Structure 1
């Protein structure tokens, strides 16, 4: 299972996948910190929101950069197999999918913090 996860990170493009993983871990650590210590000024929750949105945009940027590279390769090729094209698109969708997962985890954490908030 661990090898599959790291294979997906490498397949999706380490330039975009590993920073997204780092953003996911930062969001989780910040959510746990707020649960344990609180966030009186709301700075930490705001930071989690910004990091999660950045992770989402970063994932889609990875997709578009990969798509541009793929179209360059297709324009140079004389014969493209449908399986190769579909496989490339599948790999290209890993980065935005991981960005969406990071966004959703952070947002679910924020929802949990709001439910747990003491007035």
Structure 2
């Protein structure tokens, strides 16, 4: 069973020793920011017949530690994803159904 990581948790990497394999550690932490009462990025905007909503940003942080004979390299990547959904409602140009047409075949 996996426990949810605690912010600020640390990963300890043992120092390099000869004849040991290269060590790689990866820590991935994903969190969704808390929802405020009326945050500006989550408001629903209406303009005519279009409606747009913006999701709460999701933050993913990845830490990769690589160790070799001479160096310890730490790579930290932080990705923020926000989804924007736009719904547009337009009136039809005609009132009839797509299946009816004035052009019919004569026999």
Higher relative contact order structure (alpha carbons within 8 Å, sequence separation ≥ 6): 1
Greater strand fraction, Structure 1 or Structure 2: 2
- TM above 0.5: no
Structure (1 or 2) with the larger CA radius of gyration: 2
TM-score per shorter chain, which class? under 0.3
Structure number with higher helix proportion:
1
Q: TM-score, normalising length from structure 2? A: 0.26
